[in-house]
């Protein structure tokens, strides 16, 4: 895996999302935000996440999807349960993953962060392969960008969000980066 000059990672599957825009002028990338997602909730290995991030999710296909109608979000990366990595937005662009957020006195975390979604939920442990892929991806991104902080979605939007959730093993992840 290598990050190209425009922010695409080589060696991973690419599914282009339309849900991104330019980062503000002078905005550096120095924060990684870890999330979790499953669509439908608690169901894994389907196409729901990719369809959601590419605005192709049929709001009638599952009762939960009705609340996602006309919601346009994305993330830079998704790590599947089997450790496979999918990239939706080049790192040089601003993905729409953080929403209303703040980190260390700075608001609008999308401006200066890269979003990484783990296929999962607050109720299920993540897989060995996901931790291994997340560590590899993090190291690659740290080589390409001046990443100073790594936070959960719950850290940057604590009133709204709980992910990556209580089953995310922060000590294990941080130890894998050493």
Q: Is residue 52 part of a domain?
A: yes
Tell whether 2 is covered by a domain.
Answer: no
* Mean pLDDT for the chain overall: 96
Q: Which domain holds residue 52?
A: 13-176
pLDDT at 1: 79
What are the residues whose beta carbons fall under 8 Å from the beta carbon of 35, sequence distance 6 or more?
75, 97, 115, 116, 117, 118, 152, 153, 163, 164
Domain membership flag for residue 19 = yes
Domain membership flag for residue 4:
no
Q: What is the pLDDT of residues 126-157, one digit of tens each?
A: 999 999 999 999 999 999 999 999 999 999 99
Rounded Cα distance, 59 and 65, in Å: 5
Listed as ranges, residues in the chain with pLDDT below 70 are none
The predicted pLDDT at position 5 comes to 80
CATH number of 114's domain = 3.40.80.10
Considering the domain boundaries, does residue 147 fall inside one?
A: yes
Residue 57: per-residue pLDDT: 97
Q: What is the pTM of this model?
A: 0.97
Q: Considering its fold, how many domains does the chain have in total?
A: 1
The 3-class SS string of 109-178 reads HHHHEEEEEEECECCECCCHHHHHHHHHHHHHHHHHCCCCEEEEHHHHCCCCCCCCCCCCCHHHHHHHCC
Q: Are strands 93-95 and 102-103 parallel, antiparallel or unpaired?
A: unpaired
Any domain includes 5: no
What is the spatial distance between Cα 98 and Cα 95, in angstroms, rounded to a whole number? 8
d(CA 122, CA 55): 24
Residue 73 lies in a domain: yes
167 located within any domain: yes
Catalytic positions are: 117
């Amino acid at each position: 895996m290598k990050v190209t000059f425009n922010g695409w990672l080589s060696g991973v599957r690419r599914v282009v999302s339309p849900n991104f825009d330019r980062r503000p002028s002078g905005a550096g990338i120095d924060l990684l935000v870890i999330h979790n997602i499953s669509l439908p909730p608690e169901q894994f290995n389907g196409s729901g996440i990719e369809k959601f991030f590419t605005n192709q999710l049929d709001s009638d296909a599952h009762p939960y999807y009705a609340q996602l109608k006309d919601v346009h979000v994305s993330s830079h990366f998704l790590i599947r349960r089997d450790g496979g990595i999918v990239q939706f937005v080049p790192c040089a662009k601003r993905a729409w993953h953080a929403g209303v957020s703040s980190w260390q006195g700075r608001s609008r975390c999308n401006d200066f962060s890269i979003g990484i979604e783990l296929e999962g939920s607050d109720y299920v442990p993540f897989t060995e392969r996901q931790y291994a892929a997340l560590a590899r991806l993090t190291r690659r991104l740290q080589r390409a960008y001046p990443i100073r902080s790594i936070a959960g979605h719950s850290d940057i939007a604590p009133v709204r969000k709980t992910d990556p959730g209580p089953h995310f093993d922060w000590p294990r992840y941080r130890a894998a980066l050493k």
